[in-house]
Amino acid sequence: MTKLDQAFALFDSYNRQSPTHISNSGQDYPIEYFYAIKLHEWISILRSDASEALLLASRCQHIGRWEIPRGSYPEGRIGYLTWRSDLSRFHAQKAEEILRSVDYDDMTIKRVKEIVQKKAIKKDPEVQTMEDALCLLFLQYQYDELIAKQSEEKMIAILQKTLSKMSHQGTQVALTLRYSEEGERLLKKALAA
């Protein structure tokens, strides 16, 4: 096994510990493992020339996310942003531990952490690819579930924020996805606003 394969196996093993599961195409998956695999697929679609660091980051972007639950932080925007910031550091630390265990060099580890923590988004092409892939993952697998929980006004705002984070390429790919009837309607409203 290559170092890349070893790291993937360790990331996947860790993410298979997720207590929450998702059903897709009749199969049950630990949710963080499923999303890591799908994020990796999106990265491979968006960047056929993806660097090893970007591929590694795609498989550990949200590693162990269940270990720092949102409910352990105060409600509201400040609590949410603090949670996201703490999670980002946690994911980077877990990634570093695993990458060191398979003898990755400091430069690769540093680069993976930069991508995982989304440093220099909009300026760093690989970080932007990660953001595009995360947004596409949301639109493909989480969007319809969120529609059921949010008002139309809130969903349009969420869509506008999501699309504003994406590159032109990412947005073009997002427009080719298949959406539910309601998802399509809200997306058109968000684009028109």
Within this chain, do residues 103 and 28 fall inside the same structural domain, yes or no? yes
Beta-bridge partners for 21: 30
Domain that holds residue 172: 142-193
Within this chain, do residues 51 and 116 fall inside the same structural domain, yes or no? yes
How many domains does the chain divide into?
2
Task: Give this prediction's pTM.
Answer: 0.92
Within this chain, do residues 100 and 11 fall inside the same structural domain, yes or no? yes
Within this chain, do residues 52 and 147 fall inside the same structural domain, yes or no? no
Cα dihedral sign, 12-16-22-24 = positive
Q: Largest Cα–Cα distance in the chain?
A: 50
Q: How far apart are CA 64 and CA 81, in angstroms?
A: 18
pLDDT on residue 120:
87
Within this chain, do residues 52 and 23 fall inside the same structural domain, yes or no? yes
User: Residue 16 carries which side chain, given as an amino acid letter?
Assistant: R
What is the chain's length? Answer: 193
pLDDT on residue 122:
85
pLDDT on residue 192:
86
pLDDT on residue 106:
97
Token pair, residue 89, equals 């550091």
Q: How far apart are CA 94 and CA 17, in angstroms?
A: 14
Within this chain, do residues 112 and 152 fall inside the same structural domain, yes or no? no
Within this chain, do residues 75 and 25 fall inside the same structural domain, yes or no? yes
Within this chain, do residues 47 and 81 fall inside the same structural domain, yes or no? yes
Q: How far apart are CA 124 and CA 128, in angstroms?
A: 6
From the CB of residue 16, how many other CB atoms can be counted at a distance below 10 Å? 13
pLDDT on residue 78:
93
Residues 6 or more apart in contact with residue 64 via CB below 8 angstroms: 14, 15, 17, 32, 90, 91, 94
- List the chain pLDDT tens, one digit each, 193 residues: 899 999 999 999 999 999 999 999 999 999 999 999 999 999 999 999 999 999 999 999 999 999 999 999 999 989 999 999 999 999 999 999 999 999 999 999 999 999 999 998 889 999 999 999 999 999 999 999 899 898 989 999 999 999 999 999 999 999 999 999 999 999 999 988 7
**Considering the domain boundaries, does residue 21 fall inside one?**
yes
User: Residue 171 carries which side chain, given as an amino acid letter?
Assistant: T
Within this chain, do residues 163 and 84 fall inside the same structural domain, yes or no? no
